Amino acid sequence: MFIEKINSPEDVKQLSIKELNQLSIETREVLLKKLSEHGGHIGPNLGLVELTIALHYVFNSPKDKIVYDVSHQSYVHKILTGRKDAFLLPEKYDEVTGYSNPQESEHDFFNIGHTSTSVSLACGLAKARDLKGDKENIIALIGDGSLSGGEAYEGLNNVSEAGTNMIIIVNDNDQSISENHGGLYKNLYELRKSEGASENNFFKTLGFDYLYVKDGHDMEELIQAFQSVKDIEHPIVVHVHTIKGKGYKLAEEKKEIYHAGPPFDLETGEYKFSRSNPESYENRTAEYLLEAMKEEPTITMITSATAPGFGFTKDRRELAGKQYIDVGIAEEHAVALASGIAKNGGKPVYCVFSTFLQRAYDQLSQDLCINNNPALLLVFAASVYGMNDVTHLGLFDIAMMGNIPNMVYLAPTCKEEYFAMLEWGIHQKDHPVAIRVPAMGMITKGIEDTTDYSLLNKYQVTHKGEDVAIIALGDFYQLGEQVVDQLVKEIDIHATLINPKFITGLDEELLNRLKENHKLVITLEDGVLEGGFGEKIASYYGPTEMKVKNYGIKKSFPDRYVPEELLKENGISTEMIVNDIISILS
Amino acid sequence: MFIEKINSPEDVKQLSIKELNQLSIETREVLLKKLSEHGGHIGPNLGLVELTIALHYVFNSPKDKIVYDVSHQSYVHKILTGRKDAFLLPEKYDEVTGYSNPQESEHDFFNIGHTSTSVSLACGLAKARDLKGDKENIIALIGDGSLSGGEAYEGLNNVSEAGTNMIIIVNDNDQSISENHGGLYKNLYELRKSEGASENNFFKTLGFDYLYVKDGHDMEELIQAFQSVKDIEHPIVVHVHTIKGKGYKLAEEKKEIYHAGPPFDLETGEYKFSRSNPESYENRTAEYLLEAMKEEPTITMITSATAPGFGFTKDRRELAGKQYIDVGIAEEHAVALASGIAKNGGKPVYCVFSTFLQRAYDQLSQDLCINNNPALLLVFAASVYGMNDVTHLGLFDIAMMGNIPNMVYLAPTCKEEYFAMLEWGIHQKDHPVAIRVPAMGMITKGIEDTTDYSLLNKYQVTHKGEDVAIIALGDFYQLGEQVVDQLVKEIDIHATLINPKFITGLDEELLNRLKENHKLVITLEDGVLEGGFGEKIASYYGPTEMKVKNYGIKKSFPDRYVPEELLKENGISTEMIVNDIISILS
């Protein structure tokens, strides 16, 4: 096999076209074997095999610098740049991350996981090159889906202004995770249909030179195109038509389902772990929203290109009809849109992953919260139990959103609370409301939640005790229960347990009352400690005799961590907390 | 005068073309009188007189809904919608804000002050309209400068997908605050030059119908255009060519200088307050950077369209040459660009106002800090003494940036420290560094700062005392000095004074040492308390006997406040703090 002999791009350059094509076949086989056994991004990588090989055949990485957008399509690049063993050998599968990573290889320039960033980052590499008087090629590879994000547009608009070498490769497979949304995609369709000849050309309107590659799986056409733009002295867009999932029939046919996933059966395509748990917050939320939409025609589910993550499968999207909006990978627009809908009397529900909501901090503050419009946000995977790639951490939401005025951020501890909050959040008209959807599975307390959430910042005392009070937020409520139980067993202390429910405000009355017969308050939160919930409690009690100990994750960027290990490193386990309490009290 | 009889848009509709033109003349006179006496946005409003009158002549506000981007150009709209007295009568000048404001009028739909948001917000109004089955016109007015922001693009891309009534008016005066930057502006030039006929059309590539208005000061042409698009059943861009500053010769000629400003002499155009203080951080920073650039060709000053705010006047921009980049109103791109430059060995310095940096939270986290690239950010107006419009508050930066891992955020307390930090920040290669530029004027201590800032999180004890320690951050250091002095006078307590310098980390060694002979730690910070610096100190001392009291601004969105009053409302004055200390100690 050729692939076994590829230790660097130099080895790719030695091959003939025939051999490069053979390398493509082998690469696809290797990818499919690893992906089916290990899981990962399927469609994006299968679609880029020839393109990546051609890139490394023509350009001189790492002198020439390639920046991959999202970088979930950089597997072939990794294979060709000295990391093939992590794809060939099952015992080494986990030696590479799923994204580009400078710690792994000099051929990778950034840790990238969010969308639409490649052009701007590459623009920076190019600017430094120009100032230093260097001459290498700077290449940004970006998918059609990523073009819907504002940062990509800002980058494109600025690249063409710079006027020096920059090669933007648009990998156009006419698909995001789901189908594309946005006016731009009509233009991309026009360009594909006219084989690049259409007069009306998005890239040209931004000042780019432009080249169309009809068949992104034709090695010769690709090599010729890349050779023609190598060392070009101005910015150019090379628009390449590829097929997502190329070479694996099921992935070509069901692009959304085989965008990414866990291990699967290569023959049947069946995923080895079910991806849709009926008893999940995602699924039950989708069911709830679809029912609610029937009764209220202004309820609108908004997603920024990640509908499948929230149980909004294709059939459900069709059921929702006009009450469903996919804005593309455009979180800023999503938040402003929600604010506008709420302002005009509609009921927007924006479902979003914590990590991606980061892209809309200013819109949360300005477009939504200053205007105090009653939009509802459902924030998923905001937890140590969420995604664990360094670029996909969901741990920063409380520090980010929890300090924005007017925002009411709620943390349910069970199914009943979650749906009571959801019901209130959709129908109230007074505040921007967000709910931190639990990530540790659906826990039921079996008791209906009749809380009136319009009375803001009322914490619930679920177990009355003395000496020690545990304020256990959202996902960590169950941990709080365990600590309370253990305290009885170990030192016969009957602690108070509190479910605060509200992340964004203090129940000062309750906090004052605790002073009467408590010496120590413990806070537990499932996220980064700095800027979070617990620090506010510590600050409140600062001038008093009350002692406070905050538990959460110390700010850091952990990568591919094991949740239990990360928690222990941060002193979070029933045993460690109980020991701390004993030590503080003594 | 007609203007005196305009109490609502209904009154505009009664006028003939001739009378409307007369109203334009009067409106300009009124604007110039108020602006010259009161200050405000000059060019943007003078350029929109006819357009706004024509809008209200044709459409039926508030049923038809107009959303102004940035909304610093909504003065004429305010005059025509029942708020003329705030422009005609000097004693009422302050009865309206400088931006659209729903609390003022039912003709305003959002508090808006940041750029590029109008299309997305209007998109939300339109979506709710469609779901409710209503039929009004939704109009978003956006300037050419604002089109450089990613949120505007995300909005445009989605509007055309929605496919129902939406009228986007592009107010193209070929100018941002300074000149425009970006490839898009070549296309706008092409469109103006061809009077809208160019085949290559940015708006059409995003799926829009398109109409060009050649003379945005010709009432008849404007009215005809608006009538032709009223009640249109699909999205359309009406591209109107206007002249910024129209009708005031100086403003037409010097567009940057008369974008906005304090009161000025109508005859000579001279501003009544000097806008360039040579002894300001802005000016001295610009001088420093220009000198540094000469020695190091990779130092690059980056701005997102607000160069004049940082002393980068036109002549200085020319001096900086290729070492100066204005990215347009594209903060996301600016941060990613800076990361890329730093990665490839350059030395980027991004100068930015605190309020606008909010637009790049995710880029700070992902593009910059996860990658740990040594870019330098200078954060201006991060203070209660910064801008005081609700949409321009600079108070949230610590909560926003201070909790991002890897970021080193510094708070100088005087000129010497600032320049020592700047020098270190540019040349170090280990961290993303940001400096919170003081906003209370240049204070000199007259002592060279020889601190080695590469030893992170080392606080400086500037006055050794006991019982009470005051940790006084950045701008509030002088307040700390006053508290220390007053404590001696009032209760003969010799407090310790600490200049922490580092916002983003605790000096645990020092904090532990304080426990030996201190009972109370006071923290002072010039920003929002929640998620800020002081809470971390409170959390650190939480489990100990040390008492802590944090001072800062309680999270809120104050509008057009008086700094001293806001501080007092938050318990911040030497006297109040000293009284608190006495009460806590007793």
For residue B392, the domain's CATH number is: 3.40.50.970
How far, CA to CA in Å, does B138 sit from each of A366, A406, B75, B119, B124?
Answer: 21, 27, 20, 10, 10
Residue of A nearest to B63 (CA): A344
How far, CA to CA in Å, does B227 sit from each of A36, B108, B160, B164, B412?
Answer: 60, 22, 21, 17, 57
Asked if B366's CB is within 8 angstroms of A391's CB, the reply is yes
Q: Cα A285 vs. chain centroid, distance in angstroms?
A: 19
Cα A139 to Cα A231: distance, rounded to the nearest angstrom: 11
Whether residue A268 lies inside any domain: the answer is no
For A527, phi then psi, to 5°, come to: 175, -170
For residues B485 and B431, state if they share a domain: no
Residue A275 binned pLDDT confidence (cut-offs 50, 70, 90): low
Whether the per-residue pLDDT at A273 is higher than 90: the answer is: no
Residue A1 binned pLDDT confidence (cut-offs 50, 70, 90): confident
Residue of B nearest to A204 (CA): B200
**Domain's final residue, options A217, A234, A253:** A253
Residues of B in contact with A409 (CB under 8 A): none
Q: Residue B220 is part of which domain span? A: 3-247
Whether the per-residue pLDDT at B244 is higher than 70: the answer is: yes
For residues B353 and B225, state if they share a domain: no
Unique residue bearing structure tokens 């002393």: B311
Cα A379 to Cα A46: distance, rounded to the nearest angstrom: 31
Unique residue bearing structure tokens 């177990």: A463
For residues A430 and A302, state if they share a domain: yes
Encode pLDDT of A366-399 as tens digits: 999 999 999 999 999 999 999 999 999 999 999 9
Angstroms from A401 CA to nearest CA on chain B: 9
Angstroms from B338 CA to nearest CA on chain A: 6
- Choose the mutation target among A403, A541, A584 for the interface with B, i.e. most B CBs under 10 Å: A403
How far, CA to CA in Å, does B465 sit from each of B485, B495, B509?
Answer: 12, 5, 17
> Taking chain A, what is the end-to-end CA distance rounded to the nearest angstrom?
68
Which of A390-403 are b and which e, b meaning 16 or more Cβ less than 10 Å from the residue's Cβ? bbbbbbbbbbbbbb
Asked if A323's CB is within 8 angstroms of B124's CB, the reply is no
Beta bridge partners of A524: A472, A551
For residues A397 and A517, state if they share a domain: no
Q: Can you spell out the DSSP letters for B226-256?
A: HHHHTT-SSEEEEEEE--TTTT-HHHHH-TT
Angstroms from B217 CA to nearest CA on chain A: 27
Q: Which residues contact B248 (CB under 8 A, 6 or more apart)?
A: B28, B32, B42, B46, B258
How far, CA to CA in Å, does B222 sit from each of A508, B198, B229, B231, B572?
Answer: 57, 21, 11, 16, 53
In this prediction, residue A442 carries a pLDDT of 94
**Domain's final residue, options B202, B222, B247:** B247
Asked if A148's CB is within 8 angstroms of B157's CB, the reply is yes
For residues A149 and A24, state if they share a domain: yes
In this prediction, residue A160 carries a pLDDT of 84
The count of structural domains within chain A is 3
Asked if B202's CB is within 8 angstroms of A202's CB, the reply is yes
Using CB atoms within 10 A of its CB, is residue B268 exposed (0-12), middle (13-18) or buried (19+)?
A: exposed
Cα A509 to Cα A507: distance, rounded to the nearest angstrom: 6
Whether residue B188 lies inside any domain: the answer is yes
Encode pLDDT of A319-360 as tens digits: 999 999 999 999 999 999 999 999 999 999 999 999 999 999
Asked if A124's CB is within 8 angstroms of B343's CB, the reply is yes
Encode pLDDT of A243-259 as tens digits: 999 999 999 999 999 99
How far, CA to CA in Å, does B229 sit from each of B238, B266, B282?
Answer: 9, 38, 46
For residues A419 and A514, state if they share a domain: no
Cβ pairs A/B, distance under 8 A: 415
Cα A53–Cα A59–Cα A64 angle in degrees, nearest 5: 125
The two tokens of residue A47 are 């679609």
Asked if A539's CB is within 8 angstroms of B550's CB, the reply is yes
- Choose the mutation target among A100, A110, A117, A157 for the interface with B, i.e. most B CBs under 10 Å: A157
For residues B59 and B183, state if they share a domain: yes
CB-closest option in A121, A325, A370 to B340: A121
Residues of B in contact with A179 (CB under 8 A): none
- Choose the mutation target among A119, A188, A333 for the interface with B, i.e. most B CBs under 10 Å: A333
CB-closest option in A124, A160, A396 to B336: A124
Residues of B in contact with A534 (CB under 8 A): 539
**CATH number of the domain to which A548 belongs:** 3.40.50.920
Whether residue A119 lies inside any domain: the answer is yes
Cα B429 to Cα B420: distance, rounded to the nearest angstrom: 16
Residues of A in contact with B127 (CB under 8 A): 300, 325, 337, 340-341, 344, 346
Whether residue B480 lies inside any domain: the answer is yes
Asked if A338's CB is within 8 angstroms of B124's CB, the reply is yes
Residue A13 binned pLDDT confidence (cut-offs 50, 70, 90): very high
For residues B384 and B509, state if they share a domain: no
Whether residue B272 lies inside any domain: the answer is no
Cα A436 to Cα A377: distance, rounded to the nearest angstrom: 9
Strands B299-303 and B433-436: unpaired
The two tokens of residue A129 are 């090159």
Residues of A in contact with B367 (CB under 8 A): 110, 117, 120-121
In this prediction, residue B274 carries a pLDDT of 73
How far, CA to CA in Å, does B17 sit from each of B21, B156, B218, B231, B501?
Answer: 6, 33, 10, 22, 63
**What percent of chain B stands above pLDDT 90?**
97
ipTM: 0.97
Q: What 3-state DSSP class applies to B565?
A: helix
In this prediction, residue A305 carries a pLDDT of 95
Q: Cα B540 vs. chain centroid, distance in angstroms?
A: 33
Cα A500 to Cα A66: distance, rounded to the nearest angstrom: 48
Angstroms from B206 CA to nearest CA on chain A: 4
Stretch A421-428: mean pLDDT: 98
Encode pLDDT of A458-486 as tens digits: 999 999 999 999 999 999 999 999 999 99
Whether residue B258 lies inside any domain: the answer is no
How far, CA to CA in Å, does B549 sit from each of A220, B425, B501, B536?
Answer: 70, 31, 19, 11
- Choose the mutation target among B301, B322, B332 for the interface with A, i.e. most A CBs under 10 Å: B332
| Of residues B398 and B161, more confidently modeled | B398
Helix, strand, coil fractions of chain A, as percent rounded to 5 = 45, 15, 40
Stretch B166-195: mean pLDDT: 94
Residue of A nearest to B180 (CA): A161
Cα A432–Cα A437–Cα A440 angle in degrees, nearest 5: 165
The 8-class DSSP code of residue B523 comes to E
Residues of B in contact with A208 (CB under 8 A): 183
Whether residue B270 lies inside any domain: the answer is no
Residues of A in contact with B186 (CB under 8 A): 160, 207
For residues B23 and B124, state if they share a domain: yes
Unique residue bearing structure tokens 């209906």: A448
Cα B278 to Cα A417: distance, rounded to the nearest angstrom: 59
CB-closest option in B129, B181, B531 to A161: B181
In this prediction, residue B177 carries a pLDDT of 85
- pTM score: 0.97
Cα A197 to Cα B353: distance, rounded to the nearest angstrom: 43
Q: Can you spell out the DSSP letters for A387-413?
A: --SGGG----HHHHHTTSTT-EEE--S
Unique residue bearing structure tokens 């009708």: B247
Stretch B139-154: mean pLDDT: 97
For residues A115 and A236, state if they share a domain: yes
The 8-class DSSP code of residue B474 comes to G
For residues B9 and B155, state if they share a domain: yes
Encode pLDDT of B349-361 as tens digits: 999 999 999 999 9
CB-closest option in B113, B160, B403 to A399: B403
Angstroms from A572 CA to nearest CA on chain B: 16
The side-by-side arrangement of strands in the sheet containing B547-553 is B460-463, B496-499, B467-472, B518-528, B547-553
For residues B196 and B329, state if they share a domain: no
**What percent of chain B stands above pLDDT 70?**
100
Whether the per-residue pLDDT at B47 is higher than 70: the answer is: yes
Whether the per-residue pLDDT at A194 is higher than 90: the answer is: yes
Encode pLDDT of A154-183 as tens digits: 999 999 888 999 999 999 999 888 888 999
Whether the per-residue pLDDT at B526 is higher than 80: the answer is: yes
The 8-class DSSP code of residue A358 comes to G
The two tokens of residue B585 are 């100690």
- Choose the mutation target among B205, B322, B359, B553 for the interface with A, i.e. most A CBs under 10 Å: B205
Asked if A154's CB is within 8 angstroms of B154's CB, the reply is no
Other residues' Cβ atoms within 10 Å of the Cβ of residue B16:
8
CB-closest option in A336, A345, A406 to B151: A336
Asked if B150's CB is within 8 angstroms of A332's CB, the reply is yes
In this prediction, residue B176 carries a pLDDT of 85
| Cα torsion angle, A307, A311, A314, A318, sign | negative
Angstroms from B533 CA to nearest CA on chain A: 9
Q: Report which listed range, A158-162, A301-305, B270-274, is most confident.
A: A301-305
A151, containing H or E segment: helix A150-162
Instruction: Provide the mean pLDDT of chain B.
Output: 97
Whether residue B441 lies inside any domain: the answer is no
In this prediction, residue B275 carries a pLDDT of 66
Asked if A403's CB is within 8 angstroms of B396's CB, the reply is yes
Residues of B in contact with A131 (CB under 8 A): 297-298, 300, 322-323, 341, 346
Encode pLDDT of A122-136 as tens digits: 999 999 999 999 999
